[in-house]
Structure 1
Amino acid sequence: MNSEFRTLGDGGPAVFPIALGSEALVHGDGIRVIHEAIERGVNLIDTGDFYGAGGDELLIGKALEGRRDRVKLSVKTGALRSPDGAFIGLDARPAAMKNFITYSLKRLGVDHIDIYRPARLDPAVPIEDTVGAVADLVKAGYVRYIGLSEMGADTIRRAHQVHPIVDLQIEYSLFNRRPEQNLFPVLSEAGIGVTAYGVLAHGLLSGKAKPSDKSGPRAHLPWFHAENFEKNMKLVNALAAVAQEKGCSPAQLAIAWALSKWKDLVPVVGARTVAQLQDTLMALQVKLGADDVVRIEATVPPEQIAGTRYLPMLMKMLDSERP
């Protein structure tokens, strides 16, 4: 198994080549999954203080009792939710960042967070102010490194001038290769790593996805809308044929592809069960040469992908999608 550690950015932490995302954990056998991941060498767990209204952090904190020294924690913050779970805005003011981390530390049961990051750019707050507040937390010992999430090139440059940024968390998959053009060159120049979420295109690349309905959890994902889903599944089925030749699943092939693209990239993948985790980690055994990468990308041509990754309203909110 190719489990050689990767370094997030210049001077960032060394981490296992696949990180564990927490969003699926509370819907499955979360504590067992975390324990199994740690035993298999996974040492980066990514979460958000707004996942499950803090529930994910509570679960992670319980799972890490007696294991904290074996894991690095990455926490996103700043997204606001109402009691019914609705998204109601962003708050990345300096005072808010320092307030949010106070509760994260308590829920997680730790004295510091390894990588702390605003989940999105708050248009009402200069990124310099937000990162400056987290830099204060670094000086105080509550944070080890600063990361960003879904930020655009100009924002990344400005943030990096305030304090070194170790990684950008960004959606990246065979169905969303835009970061290769508008973000990765900037990150390479600045010495910033990548933690890539959505590597399986929200389950589309698993080959087991179903089209969304108007009220389903994927209703805001145009790839799954009825008018797009059938077209996209033709691409997924073609990818499955390549995976079969390589002796792996489409999901494992998609993860292996992402790992092959950049040495400083670490996919963040969720798992509800130990079996799902084990299946995911098998992607590290898939060996891809340059010809394989070319063939895989030709199997999923960007111009044939139907729909955008989010609805237009949500796309406009992403600083990373700005020209």
Structure 2
Amino acid sequence: MKKRRLGNTDLHISEVGLGCMNLGTNEQNAKDIIHEAINAGINYIDTADLYDYGENEKLVGKALKGKRQDTIVATKGGNHFDPNQEGWYWDPSKKYLKEAIKNSLIRLGLDDVDLYQLHGGTIEDPIDEVIETFEELQQEGLIRYFGLSSIRPNVIKSYVDKTTITSNMMQYSLLDRRPEEELLDYLNDNQVSVLVRGTLGKGMLTSNGIEQWEKKGSNGFLDYNAEELKEVIEKLQVLANESSTTLESIAIHYCLSHPGVSSLILGASRPEQVQNNIEAYYNAPKDQSIIEEVTNMTKKQIYEQHRT
């Protein structure tokens, strides 16, 4: 599998990464998913402390035993929770982030992580303190690099203006083209890699797109109403059939076509879903004219909120 550079670092990550949020709680199933991904050439493994309130990191850690050298491991923090209680609240304080990363490392069974991401963020956060915290964690050898997981333009630009973040994870797909208007080129120009989540649009950008629309599209999606959403999925499916490919492959090809994107973080709840994602990646159409066609079929969008 091809790799792309992660920001301005010495790390090169697979164009498809494994998002671990949907691993579930069965240890053997989680292990099988992660090993399937690694054996297929995926080297970027992404988790977060909030996933199943820390249990996800434990499963990832167990699955990575003996395979750490083959992987680039990322986790996230900032959501304050007690494993013994329900609920969480946002807490980007230095005190909590330092506590959170140490707990993450214990659960993962690692001495450090390659990438530590702020799991959200608001413009009201003590951004200078967060940056100072990340830099201290680097100096302490607990993290190699740091980044964000945010779709808020004002938050993203504040960090880029103030420090050298490595990456930003954000939702981006044919159905959510908001990053194109102002963030993809901006981040690329600043050597900040984009890690994409939501590539397959809640499953609506797949061969089962209409079935998924029936389950998840009744209220529309962003600025698509339900009928517009169904119509665009059907048009994309026709194009895929005419091009002898799949809608999954087109969706993957589209997101990877931007040079600012380093990896698509695709989730899986079963090993065969990893296989399907990999197959769709390798079968991505090489004809660049498809990019123009699907661009014309879908809406240009902008971020309406988090402007100032």
- For the aligned pair, the TM-score class normalised by the smaller chain equals 0.7 to 0.9
- Which residue is 2:143 aligned to? 143
TM-fit CA distance, 1:252: 2.2
Q: Tell me, what secondary structure is at the counterpart of 1:11? A: coil
1:19 aligns with 2:17: yes
Q: Tell me, what secondary structure is at the counterpart of 2:174? A: coil
Q: Give the superposed CA RMSD.
A: 2.7
- Which residue is 2:125 aligned to? 125
Question: Identity over the aligned pairs, expressed in percent?
Answer: 27
- Which residue is 1:33 aligned to? 33
Say how many residue pairs are matched: 300
Contact 1:135 1:163 in 2 (8 A): no
Q: Tell me, what secondary structure is at the counterpart of 1:272? A: coil
- Which residue is 2:235 aligned to? 238
Q: Tell me, what secondary structure is at the counterpart of 1:100? A: helix
- Which residue is 2:298 aligned to? 300
Q: How does 1:30-69 map to 2 (within 5 A)?
A: 30-69=30-69
TM-fit CA distance, 1:96: 0.9
* Normalised TM-score (structure 1): 0.84
Contact 1:222 1:228 in 2 (8 A): yes
- Which residue is 1:200 aligned to? 200
Q: How does 1:202-241 map to 2 (within 5 A)?
A: 202-206=202-206, 207=209, 208-212=211-215, 222-223=219-220, 228-241=225-238
Match of 1:258 among 239, 255, 259: 255
Cα deviation digits, residues 141-189 of structure 1 (max 9, x gap): 0000111111544533442455421111011011111111121232122
Aligned pair in 2 of structure 1 residues 163, 60: CA closer, same or farther (>3 Å)? same
Please give the alpha-carbon distance, in whole angstroms, between the structure 2 residues aligned to 1:121 and 1:133: 14
Cα deviation digits, residues 181-204 of structure 1 (max 9, x gap): 121232122111100101111222
Please give the alpha-carbon distance, in whole angstroms, between the structure 2 residues aligned to 1:297 and 1:15: 27
Contact 1:239 1:300 in 2 (8 A): no
Q: Tell me, what secondary structure is at the counterpart of 1:261? A: coil
TM-fit CA distance, 1:264: 3.6
- Which residue is 2:288 aligned to? 290
Please give the alpha-carbon distance, in whole angstroms, between the structure 2 residues aligned to 1:285 and 1:230: 29
Aligned pair in 2 of structure 1 residues 243, 75: CA closer, same or farther (>3 Å)? same
1:76 aligns with 2:61: no
- What letter corresponds to residue 200 of structure 1 in structure 2? L
Please give the alpha-carbon distance, in whole angstroms, between the structure 2 residues aligned to 1:232 and 1:160: 34
- Which residue is 1:312 aligned to? none
Contact 2:188 2:260 in 1 (8 A): no
Please give the alpha-carbon distance, in whole angstroms, between the structure 2 residues aligned to 1:99 and 1:124: 21
Q: Tell me, what secondary structure is at the counterpart of 1:25? A: coil
TM-fit CA distance, 1:61: 0.6
Contact 1:93 1:130 in 2 (8 A): yes
Contact 1:115 1:143 in 2 (8 A): yes
* Normalised TM-score (structure 2): 0.88
Runs of at least 5 residues in structure 1 that lack an aligned partner in the other structure: 213-217, 310-314
- What letter corresponds to residue 146 of structure 2 in structure 1? I
- Which residue is 1:322 aligned to? 307
TM-fit CA distance, 1:31: 1.1
Aligned pair in 2 of structure 1 residues 76, 228: CA closer, same or farther (>3 Å)? same
Contact 1:175 1:300 in 2 (8 A): yes
- Which residue is 1:110 aligned to? 110
- Which residue is 1:6 aligned to? 4
- What letter corresponds to residue 50 of structure 1 in structure 2? L
Aligned pair in 2 of structure 1 residues 229, 198: CA closer, same or farther (>3 Å)? same
Q: Tell me, what secondary structure is at the counterpart of 1:165? A: coil
177-186 or 43-52, which deviates more: 177-186
Contact 1:6 1:263 in 2 (8 A): no
Q: Tell me, what secondary structure is at the counterpart of 1:159? A: helix
- Which residue is 2:272 aligned to? 275
- What letter corresponds to residue 24 of structure 1 in structure 2? N
- What letter corresponds to residue 281 of structure 1 in structure 2? I
Aligned pair in 2 of structure 1 residues 56, 262: CA closer, same or farther (>3 Å)? same
Contact 2:177 2:299 in 1 (8 A): no
